[in-house]
Amino acid sequence: MKACIAAGADAVYMGLPKFSARAYADNESEGSYLEAIDYAHLRNAKLYCTVNTLFKEKELSTELYDLIAPLYEAGLDAVIVQDLGVMKRISELFPDLNVHVSTQAAVTGYRTANFLKRYHVTRIVPARELSFSEVRELSSGSGLEIECFVHGALCYSYSGLCLFSSLAAGRSGNRGRCGQPCRLPYRASDGEGRLLSSGDEAYAISMKDLNTLKLLPAILDAGVTSLKIEGRMKKAEYAAGVTHVYRKYLDRLLQGGTGSYAVDPEDEGHLFYLFNRQGFTSGYYERHSGRDMIALREKEFRKEEESFLEYVRSEFLRKEKEVPVRGTYIVKAGKPVSLTFETSGPGNAFSYTVSNEDSFVPETALTAGTGKEAIEKQFSKTGGTGFCLSSIGGESDPGLFLPVGKMNELRRKALSGLENEILKAYRRS
């Protein structure tokens, strides 16, 4: 999660130990999940909880509330849901919580989307089998946010409607435990027993991974408002690396328009070496189906691009995204020192000024006073807080002495106060 946010993600989906479509992922406990919500919000990102499996009746009545309530109070931004009963129950229990409809619900048209509005649905992640024209119709006909998959693993079966793993292994994909039988080799024969698949093309239902980097202009033109990257059970290097590449080209597209949009072969190579199954496919956006969408052969040994992986590790795994803040101070004789930190992001702005009772009155210097350079040096230290200073300035009377320990304590109080102001805006009761 931290690596994805550092690499440019606006939002991250995360699961809890139950009711996530990735039950075998390293899902978070409630305590660390609450920390994750605050971490995202401090960095102007959002966190969405995956509650995208089918529920049993007793789970719906006894476990759903206890699962969501603490996350809701902490400011969880949305839940992604497959089960209609879960949508209805969440809309009753948590009316202020946005609901995203999972691709597992296999929404293919605007009539279904409009029906789901009664459950406080704000976003549809449609079935992955839709064409551009069908996505456009869904968007315009419903008026809801549309989030489409742009990169990562695809299922051979229609979105959310596969029972293969349940039947073959007793592990339900709709309960988050898919055994991925589609990734295994098979012999295909006709009705008279004639073999249709050759020995080196036995993976007849194993889809190539999706890659739509070149299609981003068309995806946005179809009314898509959010780009979804699959990868919750892949390495952090993969998730951050793919996010970084798509962030680069989305920003380029939003700033420069479609006229000059082109993908650098080097970036295509980065995506290829991060992960692929016999190459990539652009999915169903421009076609109905086709042989070249299937991997067919066993996955080859994949050589890693170590230089790019090291770049990803150094920039996004070893570093955390920091929020730029502006600092302002006032140092006057006989008055408590005033220190304010403020920050702003898309659609919000926060500031915090240390109150008089939490500050200190500067002393008259016996020799040389504490100059502006020394004051700003102490107030600029933000290490380990999640903030970084973009600017610092203020006014100070000459001849005053400010103890370093007092300045450090004041800075810590101001940054802590700013953090509380930001998080308070997300809290619910």
Structural domain contains residue 188:
no
Contact 148, 135 (CB under 8 A): yes
371 and 262 part of one domain: no
Alpha carbon of 290 to those of 180, 194, 283, 293: distances in Å?
Answer: 21, 22, 10, 6
Q: Could you tell me the CATH number of the domain that includes residue 277?
A: 3.20.20.70
> Are 256 and 390 found together in one domain?
no
Of 268, 292, 317, the domain-final residue = 317
Q: Is 322 exposed, middle or buried (0-12, 13-18, 19+ CB in 10 A)?
A: middle
The answer to the question of residue 83 being in a domain is yes
Residues 70 and 109 in one domain: yes
With respect to residue 267, please indicate whether it lies within any of the assigned structural domains.
Answer: yes
Q: Phi/psi zone of residue 28: left (φ > 0), alpha (ψ -120 to 50 degrees), beta?
A: beta
pLDDT at 194: 85
Last residue of a domain, one of 272, 291, 317: 317
Residue 186 counted as domain residue: no
Strand boundaries in 30-144, DSSP class E: 46-51, 78-81, 98-101, 121-124
Asked if residue 381 is part of any domain, the answer here is yes
Q: Give the chain's domain count.
A: 2
Whether residue 12 is contained in a domain is answered as: yes
Q: How far is CA 261 from the centre of its chain?
A: 25
Q: Are residues 312 and 348 in the same domain?
A: no
If asked whether residues 222 and 346 sit together in one domain, one would say no
- Tokens representing 169 are 């292994």
CA distances 103 to 27, 147, 201, 297, 374, Å, are: 20, 9, 29, 27, 56
Q: Which domain holds residue 271?
A: 2-176+209-281+304-317
Q: What's the pLDDT score for residue 25?
A: 53
Q: Classify residue 204: in a domain, yes or no.
A: no
Same domain, 84 and 224: yes
pLDDT at position 26 is 57
| Whether residue 356 sits in one domain with residue 236 | no
Same domain membership, residue 117 and residue 217 = yes
List per-residue pLDDT tens for the chain, 429 residues long. 999 999 999 999 998 876 665 555 555 567 889 999 999 999 999 999 999 888 888 888 888 898 999 999 999 999 999 999 999 999 999 999 999 999 999 999 999 999 999 999 999 999 999 999 999 999 999 999 999 999 999 988 888 788 888 888 888 877 777 888 888 998 888 888 888 777 788 888 899 999 999 999 999 999 999 999 998 778 999 999 999 999 999 999 999 888 889 999 999 999 999 988 888 999 999 998 888 999 988 877 667 789 999 999 999 999 999 999 999 999 999 999 999 999 987 778 999 999 999 999 999 988 888 999 999 999 999 988 999 999 999 999 999 999 999 999 999 999 999 999 999 999 998
Domain edge (last residue) among 291, 317, 343 = 317
One domain for residues 309 and 335: no
Could you tell me if 171 and 256 lie in one domain? yes
User: Alpha carbon 363 to chain centroid distance?
Assistant: 49
pLDDT value at residue 27:
56
Residue 140 lies in a domain: yes
- 68/151 same-domain check: yes
Are residues 360 and 313 part of one domain? Answer: no
- For residue 141, give both structure tokens: 């006909």
Cα(338)–Cα(341) distance, rounded to whole angstroms? Answer: 10
